[in-house]
Amino acid sequence: MILYGPPAAGKDTVTAALAELSPLYALFERFKVGSGKSDGYRMGSAEQLLALEAAGDVVYANRRYGNVYAIDRPGLDTAFEAGVPVVHLGQVNGIRALVDGYTADWSAVLLWCPKQETARRSAGRGDRDTAARLAAWEATQEDLDARPDMVWDLTVDTSVTSPEDSARLIHQLLVRRAGAATA
Ordered alpha helix ranges (H), 3-129:
11-21, 46-54, 73-82, 92-101, 115-124
Residue 137 corresponds to which amino acid? W
Q: What is the pTM of this model?
A: 0.90
Average pLDDT rounded to a whole number, residues 47-56: 97
Percent of the chain as helix, strand, coil, to the nearest 5: 50, 20, 30
Q: Strands 30-33 and 25-27, how do they pair?
A: unpaired
Q: Is the pLDDT of residue 20 over 60?
A: yes
Domains, the chain, ordered by start: 2-30+83-178 (3.40.50.300)
Instruction: Tell me the pLDDT tens digit for each residue of 98-120.
Output: 999 999 999 999 999 999 999 99
Q: How far apart are CA 121 and CA 145, in angstroms?
A: 23
